[in-house]
Amino acid sequence: MLRQMSTTDLTLGEAAKELGVSVDTLRRWDRAGKLRTTRDERNRRRVPAREVTRLRTRPKRHRTGEPLSARNRFPGVVRSVEVDGVMALVELEAGPFRVTAAITRDAVEELGLAEGVAATATVKATSVMIEAS
């Protein structure tokens, strides 16, 4: 049974933009019961404006000062920078982890990356696979 849609319902895309999250995040929240949605006549999810207001005013779990998820950020210290041509390998020590990134020489220069400089690795990947031979 469909609940009646009010004129203040937003599409998932509109609600995601208002909240600064992805549409997939809103779908997960809906399935987990963290978000109350309605359905339109074509069975598409709609988000009541009151839900957007409720979610906007609830306390944030991570306050990093950045619009990225805290779980994808690794603050640390640069341990080495190897520049070769237009590319560079930067190794960052982030707690017990070592993260190596291949970036451009220009990025190294613009960010002022050098051994001992504080930096943050931001990881954006759907999967990482490593196989021993």
For 70-122, the fitting CATH number among 2.40.50.100, 1.10.760.10, 3.40.50.2020, 3.40.50.300 is 2.40.50.100
pTM of the model: 0.47
Give the number of other CB atoms < 10 A from CB of residue 107.
13
**pLDDT tens for residues 92-111?**
999 898 999 999 999 999 99
Cα–Cα distance measured from residue 97 to residue 118, given in angstroms and rounded to the nearest whole number: 15
Residues of the chain with CATH 1.10.1660.10: 9-57
The ranges of the chain annotated as CATH 2.40.50.100 are: 70-122
Task: Kindly report, residue by residue over 37-78, the tens digit of the pLDDT.
Answer: 998 888 888 999 998 888 887 655 544 455 555 567 888 999
CB neighbours of 62 closer than 8 A, spacing ≥ 6? Answer: 69, 70, 71
- Residue 84 forms beta bridges with which residues? 87
As a CATH number, domain 9-57 is 1.10.1660.10
Residue 85, helix vs strand vs coil: coil
Cα–Cα dist 121/77, whole Å: 10
